[in-house]
């Protein structure tokens, strides 16, 4: 079984994330959306709410599971027997950042990182932009799935 994780904080999940997930699920037998827990980070949405947003968005996709984890992503991959890490790339800066992480993960384990380019119409969307729009009472509905529209 080809099992991959798509790790992130998903604060909140965006249409860019959804694009990668929808395309990534076709490549693997199981795709685990793994919400990382970082106690040093201040989140806009609670862990429970972020998990709920994702579960609601993909409730009709049996190949997707949503979990939370702490610690190194590669250690979590070993724990759940995931052979791949799925990552989305929006721009060259993402590539450079993600490449360094992928090389480090490969040095620490046998886990492969698979990169997908975000569709051009969604490459500008990031969770930090969505949070800024929400904080400033802007219309964020075109940036997130229906489950996030609170």
Examine the residue annotation and report whether 127 is marked as an active-site residue of this protein. yes
Question: CA angle, corner 77, sides to 72 and 81, nearest 5?
Answer: 155
50, 51, 87, 90: which is the annotated catalytic residue? 90
39, 41, 107, 120: which is the annotated catalytic residue? 41
Q: Which residues contact 74 (CB under 8 A, 6 or more apart)?
A: 85, 105, 108, 109, 111
Examine the residue annotation and report whether 103 is marked as an active-site residue of this protein. no
CA 125 to CA 137: how far, in whole Å? 17
Examine the residue annotation and report whether 87 is marked as an active-site residue of this protein. no
Please give the structure tokens belonging to residue 25. 């699920």
51, 87, 127, 147: which is the annotated catalytic residue? 127
Question: Catalytic site residues?
Answer: 17, 41, 90, 127
């Amino acid at each position: 079984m080809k099992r991959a994780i798509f790790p992130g904080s998903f604060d909140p999940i965006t249409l860019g994330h959804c694009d990668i997930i929808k395309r990534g699920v076709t490549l693997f037998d199981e795709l685990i959306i793994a919400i990382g827990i970082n106690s040093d980070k201040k989140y806009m949405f609670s862990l429970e709410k972020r998990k709920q947003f994702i579960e609601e968005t993909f409730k009709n996709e049996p190949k997707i599971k949503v979990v939370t984890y702490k610690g190194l992503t590669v250690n979590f991959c070993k724990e759940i027997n995931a052979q791949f890490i799925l990552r989305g790339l929006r721009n060259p800066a993402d590539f450079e950042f993600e490449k360094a992480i992928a090389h480090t993960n490969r040095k620490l384990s046998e886990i492969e990182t698979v990169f997908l380019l975000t569709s051009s119409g969604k490459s500008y969307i990031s969770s930090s932009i969505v949070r800024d729009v929400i904080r400033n009472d802007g219309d964020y509905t075109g940036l997130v799935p229906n489950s996030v529209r609170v």
